[in-house]
Structure 1
């Protein structure tokens, strides 16, 4: 799952939100340097990633991207799942998504001084370009794909390749999300924290 899902799966707990958002930028045992609530958010993020990455539905969804994106297919699926979450009318309306993303930015910004330095830069771009709300739109997804392609050292395709996969298999990927996401929500609700 990507940033929007991690934020959503924190269920409005401010410490969990911060920990869940910064987890990929907290290496080794540095998570122990944070307050207990943020530590729990980091651990929750890692549990969500493990659940997602090993789930049979996610593994099947990755297959669509395998030919063009290889081992990066997992990263593209994370963004695709965020797109389907952002457009999931059982969870968000356009207005409620906008309000939710503003609240997430506010919550994270309040903890700016304790954010990992690399995440501080990422967060500035995230907020400035409203990534979380942008996942709702295909051009926002394309921009996210472009960012991955730009940063990926061993991926020799343009963002057009995974974007074409998404467009070609949009309905099937949406079905994968609808099968998978309720199971992930149920897992998080029973996760100890």
Structure 2
């Protein structure tokens, strides 16, 4: 769900960006139906997810959401990381987040015919509501949390519950991001260029 991080870690490579953004909507072996560069993005996305889910800072941060959100805690942490990335001026100085978001939307729109149907629907709202920039704002975070709650089959709480955990533990979550994200960047930078063997 952390679309901004996946886009950022594609490093302006269009095919990698597409694969990285659509990976959660490509089930089973359908990833093999895409061109090699998009396959690379899909595989990279999955490596990023595995690294994120097992990182000690993530495991610690999830504890803030587990009382109210249970197994969905990891989903909310993904969004929280995107919030801190969006506000990380070492990654997005000045107005660069706004231009980066538009760049990503243009890359995806130009390859719209390649996007899985499920992601096409998501992308429609992502672009219209400017999700990638919206992660910077608390209002955008609340809307994102609301969307997760609305689509979740087994999460029987309002968005107020995870949003309260976000606000009440803001500094601790920020500290988790500061530990985690540099490690993730180093991990991605050391992933071998050819992921097809992984």
What band does the TM-score fall into relative to the shorter chain?
A: over 0.9
The aligned counterpart of 1:124 is 124
The aligned counterpart of 1:38 is 38
Matched, 1:77 2:69: no
Between the aligned partners of 2:117 and 2:63, the Cα distance in structure 1 is 34
State the TM-score, normalizing by the size of structure 1: 0.99
Give the ranges of 4+ consecutive aligned residues of structure 1 lying more than 4 Å apart after TM superposition: none
Between the aligned partners of 2:149 and 2:185, the Cα distance in structure 1 is 29
Between the aligned partners of 1:29 and 1:162, the Cα distance in structure 2 is 34
Alignment of 1:106-121 (within 5 A): 106-121=106-121
Q: Report the secondary structure of 2:63's partner residue.
A: helix
Paired residue total: 193
The aligned counterpart of 1:150 is 150
**Which residues of structure 1 form unaligned runs of 5+?**
none
| Deviations 1:116-160 (CA, angstroms, capped at 9, x unpaired) | 011001001000000000000000000000000001111110000
Between the aligned partners of 2:104 and 2:19, the Cα distance in structure 1 is 12
The aligned counterpart of 1:173 is 173
CA RMSD of aligned residues (A): 0.7
| Deviations 1:9-28 (CA, angstroms, capped at 9, x unpaired) | 00111110000000000000
Shift in Å, 1:94: 4.5
Alignment of 1:1-193 (within 5 A): 2-193=2-193
State the TM-score, normalizing by the size of structure 2: 0.96
**Which residues of structure 2 form unaligned runs of 5+?**
194-198
